[in-house]
């Protein structure tokens, strides 16, 4: 039940059979954060004690709003889409401060990196097979990769081949 949290969003879509555009605005972000204490905690209690709960960013505020847009084009058995997203990475970043004499952690700070994603995806159907691919680039607020507490820029991609499973025959 802890994971079932409603998230407000406004979405607008317009298009025809061959082209479609969509805009989405989420005024807050319900980002991923592992449980720090309690029965669901996956963090060693010694390290959890180094995290100040009051310093964890409150992502359910307008400061963490997100915006995305997408355009899809469909022709015959080919689909192509371009997309853009502006918001924060959903996975937290961890800044671990070490004692310079012992190299033991003395504090852990949790943050969320602001980022922009742009990408393209394509799909092609051929008989029972569907070939799909996606490629994109995350552009981080730490563009020059000088802050070890933030996520860096990253290229992302994915390729898929889908085919229906054969139907089971009954005797």
Strands (E), 65-150: 66-75, 78-88, 93-98, 105-111, 114-126, 129-140
Report pLDDT for 4: 67
Chain centroid offset of residue 91 CA: 7
What pTM did the predictor assign? 0.76
Count of C-beta atoms within a 10 Å radius of residue 140: 19
Question: Angle at CA 69, nearest 5°, toward 31 and 84?
Answer: 70
Q: Which residues contact 111 (CB under 8 A, 6 or more apart)?
A: 57, 92, 93, 94, 95, 149, 150
Provide the 8-state DSSP code for 89.
-
- Nearest residue to 73 via CA among 9, 32, 6, 15: 15
pLDDT of the chain, 171 residues: tens digit per residue: 455 678 899 999 999 999 999 999 999 988 887 788 888 888 888 888 999 888 889 888 999 999 999 999 999 999 999 999 999 988 898 899 999 999 999 999 999 999 999 999 999 999 889 999 999 999 999 888 888 888 899 999 999 999 887 666 665
Strand order in the sheet with 154-162: 10-15, 19-26, 66-75, 78-88, 114-126, 129-140, 154-162
- CA distances to 58, 66, 81, 82, 104 from 9, rounded to whole Å, are 18, 9, 21, 21, 42
Instruction: Say what the pLDDT of residue 60 is.
Output: 87
- The confidence score (pLDDT) of residue 168 equals 60
116-133 pLDDT, tens digit per residue, is 999 999 999 998 899 999
């Amino acid at each position: 039940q802890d994971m079932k949290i409603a998230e407000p969003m406004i979405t607008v879509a317009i298009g025809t059979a061959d082209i479609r555009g969509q805009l989405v605005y989420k005024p807050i972000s319900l980002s991923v954060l592992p449980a720090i204490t309690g029965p669901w905690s996956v963090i060693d209690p010694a390290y959890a004690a180094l995290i100040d709960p009051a310093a964890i960013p409150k992502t359910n505020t307008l400061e963490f709003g997100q915006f995305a847009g997408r355009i899809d084009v469909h022709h015959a058995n080919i689909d192509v889409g371009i997309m853009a997203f502006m918001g924060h990475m959903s996975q937290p970043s961890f800044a671990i401060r070490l004692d310079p004499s012992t190299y033991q952690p003395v504090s852990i700070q949790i943050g969320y990196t602001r980022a922009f994603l742009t990408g393209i995806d394509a799909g092609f159907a051929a008989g029972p097979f569907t070939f799909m691919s996606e490629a994109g680039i995350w552009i981080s607020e730490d563009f020059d990769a000088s802050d070890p507490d933030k996520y860096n820029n990253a290229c992302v991609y994915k390729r898929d081949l889908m085919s229906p499973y054969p139907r089971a025959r009954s005797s």
